[in-house]
């Protein structure tokens, strides 16, 4: 029996405490024998390198000891890799690369690099003698090389570009490939794929004999170089046609052929060093992530044949970091869906039908009741300029309660802003939907997941186009009877938090409440105080300084706090390097001085996102109280 209860007041099994208890999974990596699988695991504020023999589930073990694993270049990623019987990881505190034998009984990692600067993306040579990695020190990034025993000082291998990403060895160890780019570009604006021929001597590390750019440019983004099994070709992702597709470069001919095509997205924005969207299997087949309108699938590509969808059932709609085993037809990937929290899968593709094994679950206690989880619907609407905007609409969901009236609506604004919302696991959205709120996740202009044209549409228009696309989405849902027009709130973090604040400023009285976590209130200070990776991001989104100073002031909510009249909740970490705390401090002080209803929650020791369980629990509890008071009241 179900019980009538007003929207927003439903009891939910998705409690703040339950969401605080999960773990984070990323970066799977195979050892050479194809039997041992490793990955990065986030447990609260700790990052751990984990490995397991897939033939013995009881062998699962932490191989990073007491170290906190987290690479430090940019937003991180590229924390950990398995190779030649060892796990190689970056220690967060010292940013040194450590080595640990995966079969050694005693966990006593050995330091390989000195402790200065930041390190990411260690890649071990095929013979196990050398490690290349990305190193950043005093605002200079390089590709460095060091011997794998740590007996010598690291050497510079490549320098001169502002950023480097994803160094990778050829199977014979005679070539390296990596992605590079310069300010003011972000990697998804324009980047280049460089291949280097190596020269060897007995007494010193390999050096670069010659190098060339084989793909990319100022208006072409490239990603994820992967050499073929013999090293004669190089696979990568490029958006040169307007869609992210997989390509293959032939070293003998210098020619390039497309492996995928069509109106689907095989790429993703490179927010971190370790991002990957396709995997090469031992047979030469490719497994890639293909996305359409927020829903992703895995496809198998063999030669010139049409990509074949892998039938994995209906549980999964998002896939991250697929990686092929060097032996056999096995794939590891992190998968999730609207009602399925992320899990690490091992997929055997040696037979006609995939054999899927779950290696590691992220959710506590086996997950939540399916009937209390919302299934998103892909929706479109027209914005004020007549252009189509895409989003995912999540209706309220409960196994115990119902209400036939139009529900209160929360607009969910993704971060980035160069990112998108897909139908993977979204705990913030499910937390709200299971309490009786409808949620519209807006893929506003500037979002990825579709063609490049959509992404670049935000250039010069951030703080305008995103705001209008969210407002038009709310109007559309209300006009279709999917939301109560009198009860609409808006929620977002980071760049999404900026859109929340701008929406409250530009459309006072339209939203009943706003929720902003580590959001941007002052574009001037963001341009001057943020980390190197995003230091010139605003050049394209708003304009270059000082020429665009008037636009920065016009679009900075801190200078127009008097226009905000609706209740707003602010959340901020004290250690945020991306959006420093003073952004929220100043806005909260301005709201307080003007008597605007607001809450301000500051979390000690947290950065750009919440890691500690107690923070996560407090955050969700505060959101629930705030919405009940200001959206339902």
> What pLDDT was estimated at residue 367?
78
Q: Assign residue 415 the CATH number of its domain.
A: 3.40.50.1820
Beta carbons of 40 and 48 less than 8 angstroms apart: yes
pTM for this entry: 0.95
pLDDT at 245 over 80: yes
Residue 283 lies in a domain: no
Residues 6+ positions from 396 with CB-CB distance below 8 Å: 7, 10, 374, 403, 407, 433, 434, 435, 436, 437, 438
Confidence bin at 106 (pLDDT 50/70/90): confident
What tens digit of pLDDT does each residue of 132-152 get? 999 999 999 999 999 999 889
Beta-strand (E) ranges in 501-604?
Answer: 513-517, 568-573, 598-603
Specify burial of residue 309 (Cβ count, 10 A radius: 0-12, 13-18, 19+): exposed
* Listed range (362-376, 411-425, 489-503) with the worst mean pLDDT: 362-376
Cα 61 off chain centre by: 26
Asked whether residue 7 falls in the same domain as residue 96, the answer is: no
What is the DSSP code (8-state) at residue 576? -
> Is residue 472 located within the same domain as residue 432?
yes
User: Using CA atoms, how far apart are residues 187 and 178, in angstroms rounded to an integer?
Assistant: 12
Q: 419 and 462 share a domain?
A: yes
Question: Would residue 358 count as lying in a domain?
Answer: no
Tell me, yes or no, whether 30 and 118 share the same domain. yes
Question: Which CATH number is 129's domain given?
Answer: 2.120.10.30
Exposure class string for 336-358: b at 16+ Cβ within 10 A, else e: bbbbbbbbbbbbbbeeeebebee
| pLDDT range class, residue 5, cuts 50, 70, 90 | very high
3-state secondary structure of 561: helix
601 inside domain: yes
Instruction: Assess if residue 282 is contained within a domain.
Output: no
Torsion, CA 374, CA 26, CA 318, CA 247, rounded to 10:
170
Listed in sequence order, the residues at least 6 apart from 268 whose beta carbon sits closer than 8 Å to its beta carbon are 223, 244, 275, 277, 289, 448, 449
Instruction: Look at residue 310 and tell me whether its pLDDT is greater than 70.
Output: yes
Query: Over 60: is that where the pLDDT of 359 sits?
Result: yes
Residues 186 and 233 both lie in one domain: yes
Domain final residue pick, 275, 291, 308: 275
Shared domain check, 267 and 413? no
Place of tokens 């291949």: 195
The pLDDT of residue 415 is above 60: yes
Whether residues 479 and 528 share a domain: the answer is: yes
Reported as type and span, the H/E element at residue 252 is: none
Strand partners, 57: none
Average pLDDT score over residue span 489-510: 98
* 229, 244, 275 - which closes a domain: 275
Do 382 and 388 contact (CB within 8 A), yes or no?
yes
- Report d(CA 585, CA 592) in Å as an integer: 11
570-599: pLDDT as tens digits? 999 999 988 999 999 999 999 999 999 999
Mean pLDDT in the chain?
95
Q: Does 342 sit behind a cis peptide bond, omega within 30 degrees of 0 on the bond before it? A: no
Instruction: Collapse the DSSP code of 12 into the 3-class scheme (helix H, G, I; strand E, B; otherwise coil) and give the result.
Output: coil
> Which helix H or strand E contains 550, and what residues bound it?
helix 549-554
Flag whether pLDDT at 364 surpasses 80. no
305 — pLDDT class (breaks 50, 70, 90): confident
What is the model's pLDDT at position 365?
A: 53
Distance from chain centroid for Cα 309 = 24
Q: Within this chain, do residues 8 and 57 fall inside the same structural domain, yes or no?
A: no
Q: Is 604 helix (H, G, I), strand (E, B) or coil?
A: coil
Which residues does 287 contact at the CB level (< 8 Å), separation at least 6? 278, 279, 281, 298, 299, 300, 301, 310, 322, 324, 331, 333, 349
How far is the C-alpha of 34 from the C-alpha of 446, rounded, in Å? 40
Task: Give burial (CB, 10 Å; 0-12/13-18/19+) of 68.
Answer: middle
Domain count, the chain: 2
Question: How many other C-beta atoms lie within 10 A of the C-beta of residue 285?
Answer: 18
Domain end point (choices 275, 291, 324)? 275
| Statement to judge: residues 520 and 427 lie in one domain | yes
Q: How confident is the model at residue 75 (pLDDT cuts 50, 70, 90)?
A: confident
Compute the distance between CA of residue 260 and CA of residue 163 in angstroms, rounded to an integer: 28
- Whether the Cβ atoms of residue 296 and residue 318 lie closer than 8 Å to each other: yes
Q: Are strands 488-493 and 438-443 parallel, antiparallel or unpaired?
A: unpaired
352 falls within a domain: no
- The answer to whether residue 473 is domain-embedded is yes
7 and 94 housed in the same domain: no
Tens-place pLDDT, residues 30-73: 999 999 999 999 998 899 999 999 988 888 999 999 999 999 99
Distance CA 305, CA 302 (A): 6
Taking CA atoms, 530 is separated from 142, 320, 336, 496, 553, in Å, by 20, 27, 31, 16, 17
Tell me the residue range of the domain where 208 lies: 23-275
Q: What is the pLDDT of residue 366?
A: 60
Task: Look at residues 214, 286, 224 and name the one whose alpha carbon lies nearest to residue 251.
Answer: 214
Residue 143 sits in the same domain as residue 266: yes
The phi-psi region of residue 503 (left if phi > 0; otherwise alpha if psi is between -120 and 50; otherwise beta) is: alpha
Do 398 and 251 lie in a common domain?
no
What pLDDT is recorded for position 509?
97
pLDDT at 529 over 90: no
Judged against a pLDDT cut of 90, whether residue 279 lies above it is answered with yes
Q: What is the DSSP letter of 217?
A: B
What residues are paired with 286 via a beta bridge?
A: 280, 301
């Amino acid at each position: 029996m179900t019980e009538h209860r007003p929207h927003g007041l439903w009891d939910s099994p998705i409690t703040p405490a339950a969401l605080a208890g999960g773990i984070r999974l990323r970066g799977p990596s195979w050892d050479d024998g194809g039997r041992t699988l490793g990955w990065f695991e986030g447990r609260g504020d700790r990052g751990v390198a984990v490995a397991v023999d897939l033939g013995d589930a009881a062998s699962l073990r932490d191989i990073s000891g007491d170290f906190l694993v987290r690479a430090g270049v940019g937003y991180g990623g590229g924390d950990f890799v398995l190779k030649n019987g060892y796990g190689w990881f970056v220690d967060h505190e010292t940013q040194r690369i450590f080595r640990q034998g995966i079969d050694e009984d005693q966990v006593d990692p050995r330091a390989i690099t000195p402790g200065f600067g930041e390190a990411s993306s260690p890649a071990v040579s095929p013979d196990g003698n050398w490690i290349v990695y990305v190193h950043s020190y005093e605002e200079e990034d390089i590709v460095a090389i060091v011997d794998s025993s740590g007996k010598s000082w690291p050497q510079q291998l490549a320098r001169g570009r502002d950023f480097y990403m994803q160094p990778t060895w050829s199977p014979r160890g005679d070539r390296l490939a990596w992605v590079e780019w310069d300010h003011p570009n972000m990697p998804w604006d324009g980047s280049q794929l460089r291949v280097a021929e190596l020269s060897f001597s007995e007494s010193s590390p390999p050096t670069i004999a010659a190098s060339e750019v084989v793909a990319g440019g100022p208006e072409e983004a490239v990603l994820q170089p992967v050499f073929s099994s013999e090293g004669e070709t190089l696979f990568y992702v490029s958006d040169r046609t307007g869609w992210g597709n997989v390509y293959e470069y032939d070293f003998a001919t210098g020619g390039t052929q497309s492996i995928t095509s069509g109106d689907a997205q095989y790429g993703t924005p490179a927010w971190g060093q370790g991002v990957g969207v396709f995997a090469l299997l031992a047979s030469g087949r490719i497994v890639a992530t293909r996305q359409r309108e927020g829903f992703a699938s895995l496809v198998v590509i063999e030669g010139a044949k049409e990509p074949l969808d892998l039938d994995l059932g209906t549980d999964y709609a998002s896939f991250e970091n697929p990686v092929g085993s060097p032996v056999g037809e096995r794939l590891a990937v992190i998968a999730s869906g609207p009602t399925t929290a992320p899990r690490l899968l091992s997929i055997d593709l040696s037979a006609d039908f995939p054999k899927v094994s779950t290696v590691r679950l992220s959710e506590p206690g086996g997950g939540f009741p399916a009937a209390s989880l919302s299934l998103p619907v892909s929706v479109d609407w027209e914005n004020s300029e007549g252009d189509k905007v895409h989003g995912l609409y999540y209706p309220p969901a409960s196994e115990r309660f119902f209400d036939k009236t139009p529900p209160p609506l929360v607009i969910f604004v993704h971060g980035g802003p160069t990112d998108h919302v897909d139908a993977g696991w979204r705990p913030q959205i499910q937390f709200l939907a299971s309490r009786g709120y409808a949620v519209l996740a807006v893929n506003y202009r500037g979002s990825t997941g579709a063609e490049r044209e959509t992404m670049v549409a935000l250039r010069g228009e951030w703080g305008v186009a995103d705001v209008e696309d969210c407002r038009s989405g709310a109007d559309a849902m209300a006009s279709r009877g999917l939301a109560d027009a009198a009860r609409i709130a808006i929620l977002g973090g980071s760049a999404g938090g900026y859109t929340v604040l701008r929406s409250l400023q530009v459309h006072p009285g339209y939203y009943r409440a706003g929720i902003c976590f580590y959001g941007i209130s002052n574009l001037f200070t963001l341009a001057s105080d943020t980390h190197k990776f995003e230091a010139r991001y605003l050049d394209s989104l708003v304009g270059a300084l000082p020429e665009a100073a008037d636009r920065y002031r016009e679009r900075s909510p801190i200078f127009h706090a008097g226009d905000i009249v609706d209740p707003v909740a602010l959340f901020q970490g004290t250690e945020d390097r991306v959006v420093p705390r003073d952004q929220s401090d100043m806005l909260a002080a301005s709201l307080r001085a003007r008597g605007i209803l607001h809450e301000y929650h500051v979390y000690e020791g947290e950065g750009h996102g919440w890691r500690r369980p107690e923070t996560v629990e407090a955050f969700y509890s505060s959101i629930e109280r705030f919405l009940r008071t200001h959206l339902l009241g």
